[in-house]
Structure formats: C-alpha cells, structure tokens
Amino acid sequence: MKKTLYVSEGILQLLIGVSAVASGAIMMIAPDGRVMSMPLSMLQGSPFKDFFFPGLILLAVNGLGNIVSGILSFKRHKLAGYAGIVFGLALMIWIFVQVSLIGGGHWLQYLYFCLGVLELLLAVGIRELEGSDAIKRR
C-alpha cells in the first residue's frame, strides 16, 4: 500500500510537471499565444499583456515544482507528502485563478483541477502513513 501511494503520486507529479514545463515553455517562447491557439484577447481584464509571465509561473511552479515533488515521492523522502500537498493545492489554485481571470469551461481545466485534487489526496495518504509509522517507531 505504502509503495503504491508513493509510486502513484510520483507518476502523477511527473506527468503534471512535464506537461506544465512544456506548456509554460511554449507560452514563453510564443507569448502572443499563436502556437497554443490562445488569442491575447483572453487576457483582457487580467494583469498580463501577453502569455510570457503566466508561462513562466506555470513552468516554475506547476512544472519544476511537481517534477521535484515527483522525485521526492519516488525516493520516499520524508518531505514527499508535504510537497504533494503544496503542489496539489498550487495546481488547484492555478486553475481557480485561471478560470477567474480568463473564464472556464475547457475540458483541460476540469482535468487538471481533478489531477490537483488527486495529487492532494495521495499526499494526504502519504502523510497519514508516515504519521502512523512514526507512532509505531516510538
């Protein structure tokens, strides 16, 4: 059970991380949105004039953060559960802010919000197991 939680969390985090790095990099390379078919008009009412800074945030937080968290999960590091909680919440907040600023309804927004929830739940499971193991060691 314990191994399954860590491996499942690690795989999920790496998938989220790699997709966020790729998407963030594309947004930074082509900040006008043409490569991802996102018109700049989507950003009206937001603090951004183009997709460069949202891409940078996506790449750094949801991308690199989840990749590092995935590595921690595969190594069963004592901080893996905490990292999963932080980056699961970060992904859900990212989607919430995105929907608040540019609107919602795209299937990818629903998918990634659900993946953030799943990442968070797996991380809570890891923390629960680690907490019960610490009690057993006393």
Q: Does 137 score more than 80 pLDDT?
A: no
60-to-28, 40, 115 alpha-carbon distances in Å: 12, 22, 18
Helix axes of 2-29 and 65-74: crossing angle, nearest 10 degrees: 160
User: Residue 73 is encoded by which pair of tokens?
Assistant: 């999960």
- Domain edges within the chain: 2-131
**Per residue in 31-85, pLDDT tens?**
999 999 999 999 998 999 999 999 999 999 999 999 999 999 999 999 999 999 9
Q: Is the pLDDT of residue 132 over 60?
A: yes
What letter does residue 36 receive in the DSSP assignment? T
- Per-residue CA distances from 4 to 11, 66, 116, 123 (Å): 10, 18, 18, 12
Distance CA 9, CA 14 (A): 9
pTM of the model: 0.90
